[in-house]
Amino acid sequence: MSLTSFSTHHLVKSEDLNHHGTLYAGRTAEWFVESGFVAAASLTKPENVVCLKIHGMRFSRPVQRGDLICFTSRIVHAGTTSLVAHIKSEVKGETVVEGFITFIHVDMDGKTFPHGVSVIPESEEEIALNAQAKNLPR
């Protein structure tokens, strides 16, 4: 399957700020995981998807109150029971946060089971992201 992208948007409000007056990393992590979850849940039942690990959420610059931040996610690697999402966040077309998250496919008792999803990267960017995802520590 080709790598479908999903976008979520958030307006940065006063309650989202840290003591420096910029977007709080905890709020960013919440939105980051939400965006990755949307991509993973689009490929299987949402109730079977749980977050295992945020591999990195690197800020390249602060995000200000009033900014509209867009999180774009896509599944870039599929293991037997895992799905790895790449998330890139932008403000006015500039990347401000980027990283990977691994989600696990589980049954209602929390036991992992195969999801049957395969990912076939096509573009150079997708191939590079897939290679990065394969080499992430689990």
> Per-residue pLDDT for 2 more than 70?
no
For the four alpha carbons of 40, 55, 79 and 89, in that order, the dihedral sign comes to positive
pLDDT tens-digit readout, 16-60: 999 999 999 999 999 999 999 999 999 999 999 999 999 989 999
Burial 41-71 (b: 16+ CB within 10 A, else e): bebeeeebbeebeebebebeeebeeebebbb
pTM: 0.93
Mean pLDDT of the chain: 95
Q: Which domains does the chain have, with CATH numbers?
A: 6-134 (3.10.129.10)
What pLDDT is recorded for position 69? Answer: 98
> Per-residue pLDDT for 3 more than 90?
no
H-run or E-run covering 103 = strand 94-105
Mean pLDDT of all residues in 131-138: 91
> Per-residue pLDDT for 128 more than 60?
yes
Mean pLDDT of all residues in 125-131: 95
Q: Label residue 1 by pLDDT band (50, 70, 90).
A: very low
